[in-house]
Amino acid sequence: MGRKWNNIKDKKASKDTNISRIYAKFGREVYVAAKQGVPDPDSNQALKFVLERAKTYNVPKVIIDRAIEKAKGSSDENYNALRYEGFGPNGSMIIVDALTNNVNRTASDVRAAFTKNGGSMGVAGSVSYMFEETAVIGIEGKTADEILEILMEADVDVRDILEEDDTIIVYAAPDRFHALQNAFNKAGITNFSVNEITMLAQNEVTLSPDAQAQFEKLIDALEDLDDVRQVYHNVDLGE
């Protein structure tokens, strides 16, 4: 797959200084997932998925509980899930997923982040065709052989199993995500360093130092937007 999840997680963590903003974004995701179905992760797969991802970011339980209680109440806040596609320096590709209650505001903010940081917006489909939706789970304290044995016993097919430092990264089709979690949970594995369905670039590109600095500034600007939920790209950011 070529993507170094440990490096990306460390790099992202070093930039995520506004913890309250991260928690607020997860609070919004939990609220929307709980509002769209029953506010119980055992019966609501979308909510369960958000909660599992929130664990890898150490989102406090009080934030999650508050969002679920809000969904149970009479709040009529409505959010739209939107996807934007665009280009960074040297034709690098970017996908931006947002969750917003004001479509015009979000579209304007995303466009401004692109244009002010050397990028440009594209039309729907101009970038996403180069990405593949993929379930990714990271496990520490196990060997690749041990993980493979667990998956074989559970009869769960995966796309790839890679070892990165002290972490085993499992890549699979999105519809295998919950089967993977169940297999690992039955084997006593409940903590994951990565636990999400993401968009992986089919091919990564390497930028010059100057272009990469500009690219990272663009990514930071997008991720800093309150309405932006996830940003995906095809640039190898290196170690």
Give the CATH superfamily of 80-129+202-233: YebC, transcriptional regulation domain (3.30.70.980)
pLDDT at 3: 55
CATH code at 7-72: 1.10.10.200
Q: Could you read off the pLDDT of 72-91 as tens digits, one per residue?
A: 887 778 899 999 999 999 98
Q: Cβ contacts of residue 108 below 8 Å, gap of 6+?
A: none
- Topology (CATH) of 131-201: Alpha-Beta Plaits (3.30.70)
Return the domain boundaries, the chain: 7-72, 80-129+202-233, 131-201
36 Cβ neighbours under 8 A, 6+ residues apart:
44, 46
Ramachandran region, residue 124 (left: φ > 0; alpha: ψ -120 to 50; beta: rest): beta
Strands 93-100 and 228-233: antiparallel
Q: How far is CA 28 from CA 33, 76, 84, 143, in A?
A: 9, 13, 19, 36
pLDDT-based confidence at 17, cuts 50/70/90?
low
Encoded tokens for 135: 């379930």
Q: Do the domains 80-129+202-233 and 131-201 sit in the same CATH topology, yes or no?
A: yes
Residue-wise pLDDT tens digits, 150-162: 999 999 999 999 9
For the chain, give the mean pLDDT.
Answer: 89
Question: pTM, whole model, 2 decimals?
Answer: 0.86
